[in-house]
Each structure stands twice: as C-alpha cells, then as structure tokens.
Amino acid sequence: MSQPVAPLAPPAPVGGPGEEPAQQQTASEEGLPKRFGKYTLLRTLARGGMAELFLAIQKSVAGFEKLIVIKRILPSMNQDKAFIEMLLHEARIAATLSHPNIVQIFDVGSVDGLYFIAMEHVHGEDIRSIVRQMKKKGVGEFPLEHAIAITLGMCTGLAYAHDKRDLEGTALGIVHRDISPQNVVVTFTGDVKIVDFGIAKSDTKGQESTKSGKLKGKVPYMSPEQARGENIDARSDLFATGVMLFELTTGKRLFKGASEYETLKLICDRDYPRPSQVRAGYPAALEAIVMKALSKDKLERYQTARDMQADLEAFVREQRIAVSTINLTAFMQSLFEDKLVSQKEELLQGKQLADIIEAQQPFESMQDLHTGTATSGLGAAHTLSGQEKKGGVGIAIAAMLVLLIGGVGGMFFYMKKKQTAAAAAAAAAAAAMTRPAPVAQVAKGSVVVSSDPPGASIWIDGDLRTDSTPATISLLPTNGKAIEIKVTKDGFEANRQSVTLTDLAPKATVSAVMKKGSVVVDVTVGPEAVKPTITLDGKKYETLSIDSISSGDQHKLTVSAPGFVDYSTSFIGSPQEKKHFDVTLQKFVAATPTGVKVDTGPKGNGKLNVGASGGWCNVSVDGAPKGATPVAGIELSAGTHRVTCTPGDGKPAQSATVNVPVDGTARQKFTL
C-alpha cells in the first residue's frame, strides 16, 4: 500500500558539526586534484565550521584503486589539542564499527599537520538533499514506504552501534549524538547509511568531555536531555530518529523556532503536536510509534533501537506497505537522473588528472633515492643541489623531466585548462540560479494574533510556533498567497482563519473567539473489579466521562489498569457527538520459558460491529476484508484485533485496535 506524504521543508542548519555543500567553488580554486599523503583529493564535497570533505582516490600496487571520502579538519581546529585528542579517540572507536547501515571509517591520521579521517565513499544523497531535489523537480509527496524504509535502516544501524562491545566483551556505550537529515544518506542502490559516527560519544576510558559548542549535534533534532546539557545515552538517538520519522511522514518540521533558544524551548517546554494534528488520516499505529519515540521522559521512550525497529516492521506487515530496496533505488535514480550523469563525467575527468599526478610518482621516487631522502608521496618537496645538478644522474633525471613536460605534462595542462573552463561555466550557472528573489517575495509581513481566552497555541501553515496568544508573528511572506492560521487550546475547538499579505498590505489582525469543545467521550470498562486510568491525548483523567473535547481533530484514548494490557484507540469526533467506548481489558501474562504452558486469557469467541459516519468505507479486520459499512456480527476470537476503514472516495484509511469480549460484542465507529 502506498501512502504518499508531503515533503518536509528543507531543514536549516541550526548549529552543530554538519557541513554545508561547497558553493560556487571550483577545483582550480582549491588546486585539485592534488596529493594528500597516500591519497589524491579529486574535488571538494562540502565545507563546514570544523572540517571539509573531499572525494579522494587511493591507489596501490597491481592497479588497486578505491574511491574514498577524506574529512580534513580545518587548520583553526588543529590548534585545539583537547579537540584533536577527543576526535582521534572517538574515530578509533567508530573505526571498529562494520555494518551495512553505517559508513565505515578506514583511516585516521595527519598530513602536514592537518588531521583527517578517511571513510567509505557512499554514492548517494542525504535526506536534506533529497527533499531539496524533490522541491526542485516539483515532486510534492514523499512516499510513506520510503520514509519507513529509511527509518528502518537507521534503527538497524543504531541497534548495532549501541550494542557494540570491545574484544573483552565490555559495552562501548556508543551514542551518535547527531542523528539528523544531513547525517543519513540514501544510496543510488537503495541502501541507508548513517554517517559521522566518527564524532560519536562512547563510555570508554580516556575520553575528553565535549567542550561547549563542539560536536553537540543539531538543535532541532536534540532530545530534551541533550538540549538541557544532561548525560545522554542511546535513547537520545532514538528521540532524534522519532523527529525525523515525524517530519518525513507529515511533511512538516517538528521543532522550528526563530532562534536556537526558541527551538530549545519548543523541545524542552512545549507539548509536541501529534502527527494526526498535522496531517489528516495519519495512520494511528504509526502515530503511536512516533509519539513513543518522542516521549520527553526517556523511561517512557523506546529503550532500544531494536524495539522501535520491531514495531515499525509489525506496522509494515499489518498495513501491507510495500517497503522495497528496488523501489527506493528507482526513486533515487529518477530523482537525481541529471546529477548522476554529471557526476560520472566529473569523476572521469578527476580520475584522469589523478592518473597524471600518479604517473609523476616514480620520477620523484628516483629523485628521493638520488638525494638519499625517503618519502611516502608528494607531500614533501625535494630539490637537487648545485653539485648534484652537474652529475650524470642529474642530467638523466632532467632529460626525463623534459619528456614528462612534453608528454604527460602537456596533457595535464590541457586537462587543467578544460576543467577550469567547465568549472567557470558551472559557477556562472550556479550564480544565475541563486540570484536574489524579487522584492515582492521578501518575508516582511506580520500578523497580530489574539484569542479569548488567551494563552492559546498558534500554528502558521501547519507549523507550531513558540508564541502563545496574544502575539505578533513577524517575517511572513507578502506574496499574495493565503496563510493559514490555526489557534488551539485544550478544552476548546480549534479556530482556523486565513490571511493574505501583500507589499501594499503587509499587516493583518486575527482575533479568535474560542468555543468550548463539543465532543463527549464516555467509557465503560470491564471486568467490573478493575480500577482503570483513562488517558486522553497524554492527559490522565479520574472520570470515565470526559467533555469539552475538540471536534475535527484526531485524539488518542488509552485505558489502563494494574495487571492488564493497555487498550488504545484513536478517534475523530464530530460537533456535538457523544462517543462511547465499551472496553474489556485483557489480563497481562508475563513471558515464560520455552515449553511452559500458561493461561493466555479468556477462551472463546465474540462479535464485532463496525460503522462509519460522514460516508462509508471498506472494512478489514487483521488484514482480512469484511465488506462495506455498516458491518455487523463479525465473529472473531476473543482478544485484540486490528480494524481498518478504507473510504471508497480515496481518502486516507483509518485504523483502530479493538478488544472483542468472550460471548460479547465490540463496537467501533469511524468518522470520515
């Protein structure tokens, strides 16, 4: 089943160690290709505040050659001894990781005083680049199956890293600390790779504590404990994974403040929106996974990546979602078709130049032998003394250099000139694409938002703001397009209005009169002896009847009791609707050793009635079709079952979990 979702807005770099793609930068400006120790740097891939990335090639005997990526620390960071010691320690830890979903580190060292990490070359694009390319090509929806495939790959790689032990069996306690769209790459063969484990944290001895402002990760993907500067563990990576899953499947940023401080406030202090509040028809089972990963309390979060992976795989099976490496490969290759062609041409040109540089190596080796100096490459330069220039061997070398200049050197000059011309054309094209937008597109508008009562949350085009009413929202576009403003508050109906700002009318006012929620939820819980706790949208209630619930929004109801399995369901209420839930809790049975028989709960069958308001839908139970609504008297085994309602008009499917009592009837009603 394919369920496309809108692509998230490209995340802005809000601090942290990520590198930005190199902009308007040519190989000739960097003097590339050039030797760097035993590697040849071909072209610049990205540059950040602490390091720069190069595509490089490593050559050895018998025609061995391998594409790699060199991450070279900037000279300013090389002066920080504590930083270098920490980097080398953590890179050594990361080099022990060998897994299909983690980029492999091959080498760590320094050349001419510049420290570097040599890592696996991954032919693909990170999540941020994928989203940008989708917007550029007008692809408006991120397929759900690909979002889940990416998240499953992340969970698999994180599970391996988090569980990694040394040769003595001691847990390394590795935490990535910077799971974000820039650090997850999808290859053009459909693989998912986590990058930058070279800056991961481990619990091994001898590690320097991270200094303020360095290697802390990107703010919009920090867990609450990481944002507060507390000690973190593997569960912090799972929170970041939950943020990415939310954004990939809703098409909206989760934490997007006007500044880093405002973003940190969103993470630490505000309630998080549920995916179904952002995107109508969001699968309830997937929402449960997302919200568990996003729990502020890490004790209520997924405790291991394998637990999150298991729930995602169960969701894929139950919903029959076509997660496929082949389909992801086709998606990537179609999206970056033009770029793949140009990359192939650039790589061929760079390799030709690298071959020319490599061809000079034997002559410099002879020179080193003559002067009695041993070198490992072109990193050190050597000259002949005046006396040696007069010797026969010096004349022979000079003659060979003349031949080199006339032959290989001539080709080098030609290729260099051709490369410079191509790079200049590319720079001109890039400059044309990045010209400033017309003045009419400048975000200079503002809206004053107030509400009665005050203290309501403000949403702008689906994004939750840090502000609460009354507030002035600035830096809004004045391009004449409608801006949707939603005001929400617990116990009240959501108030939706839209405004249009232009250069001539850049300001507007929105006044929201909040109406009490009109939906009432009534719950009957069995067996009679239990003392249940009712939780609605994360808030606990002492009563079995709850009023003032907003209509038109998706809500999650959970019924729990000591010694019983939690019952959860999602619903959307219509104005003035009273929703009744007849819940029979099932006794919790602890796991027992293999071969030991246990009482698995009530035996027997029950019945299920399924209805729908606002339209009709096709009903399936545990994946088996049961016909169109209304459906009554579906005979099922007592216990928990998954019910799915698929509208016939193409609207998104809704799902719910119901408990069928022994010799009783369970009822489920969907609002379309």
- Catalytic site includes residue 547: no
Q: Which residue has the higher pLDDT, 549 or 388?
A: 549
d(CA 154, CA 149): 9
Q: Residues 482-509: what's their mean pLDDT?
A: 90
For β-strands 519-526 and 578-584, DSSP reports them as: parallel
pLDDT of residue 401: 38
Residues of the chain with CATH 1.10.510.10: 4-338
Architecture of the 4-338 domain: Orthogonal Bundle (1.10)
Least confident residue range of 183-192, 336-345, 357-366, 395-404: 395-404
Q: Are 177 and 17 in contact (CB under 8 A)?
A: no
Q: How confident is the model at residue 575 (pLDDT cuts 50, 70, 90)?
A: confident
pLDDT of residue 538: 74
Q: What mean pLDDT value characterizes the chain?
A: 77
443: number of Cβ within 10 Å? 13
pLDDT of residue 62: 66
Catalytic residue, candidates 80, 112, 166, 178: 178
Answer yes or no: is pLDDT of 177 > 60: yes
Answer yes or no: is pLDDT of 185 > 50: yes
Q: Are 37 and 376 in contact (CB under 8 A)?
A: yes
Long-range pairs for 334-343 at CB < 8 Å and ≥24 separation?
Answer: 335/130, 335/133, 335/134, 335/137, 335/139, 336/125, 336/133, 336/188, 339/133, 340/188
Q: What percent of the chain has pLDDT over 70?
A: 74
- Backbone angle region of 663, left / alpha / beta, with phi > 0 → left and psi within -120 to 50 → alpha: left
pLDDT of residue 253: 92
Q: How confident is the model at residue 380 (pLDDT cuts 50, 70, 90)?
A: very low
Provide the β-strand partners of residue 319.
none
pLDDT of residue 379: 32
What are the start-end ranges of the H helices in 460-518? none
Least confident residue range of 53-57, 285-289, 305-309, 509-513: 53-57
CATH number of 441-513: 2.60.40.1120
Phi, psi of 407 (to 5 degrees): -100, -85
User: Which tokens sit at 392?
Assistant: 């026969």
Helix axes 284-293, 305-319, angle to 10 degrees: 170
d(CA 215, CA 225): 16
DSSP string covering 565-609, please?
--EEEEEEPPTT-EEEEEEEPPBP-----TT-----S--SEEEEE
Q: What percent of the chain has pLDDT over 90?
A: 25
pLDDT of residue 405: 40
How far CA 349 is from CA of 55, 70, 346, 416, 423, in Å, comes to: 13, 19, 5, 10, 12
Q: How confident is the model at residue 137 (pLDDT cuts 50, 70, 90)?
A: confident
d(CA 584, CA 4): 35
Residues of the chain with CATH 2.60.40.1120: 441-513
**Tens digit of each residue's pLDDT (9 = 90 or more) over 219-276:** 999 999 999 888 899 999 999 999 999 999 999 999 988 888 888 989 998 889 999 9
**Tens digit of each residue's pLDDT (9 = 90 or more) over 328-348:** 998 898 888 877 776 665 555
pLDDT of residue 237: 95
Residues 6+ apart with CB under 8 A from 392: none
User: 405-433: b or e for each residue (b if 16 or more CB lie within 10 Å)?
Assistant: eeebbeebeebbeebeebbeeeeeeeeee
Helix axes 144-162, 305-319, angle to 10 degrees: 150
Q: How confident is the model at residue 439 (pLDDT cuts 50, 70, 90)?
A: very low
Answer yes or no: is pLDDT of 470 > 50: yes
Length reported for the chain: 672
d(CA 502, CA 508): 10
Answer yes or no: is pLDDT of 132 > 70: yes
User: Which tokens sit at 222?
Assistant: 């920090």
Q: Residues 191-197: what's their mean pLDDT?
A: 88
Answer yes or no: is pLDDT of 213 > 50: no
pLDDT of residue 371: 34
Q: Which DSSP symbol is given to 555?
A: E
Answer yes or no: is pLDDT of 650 > 90: no
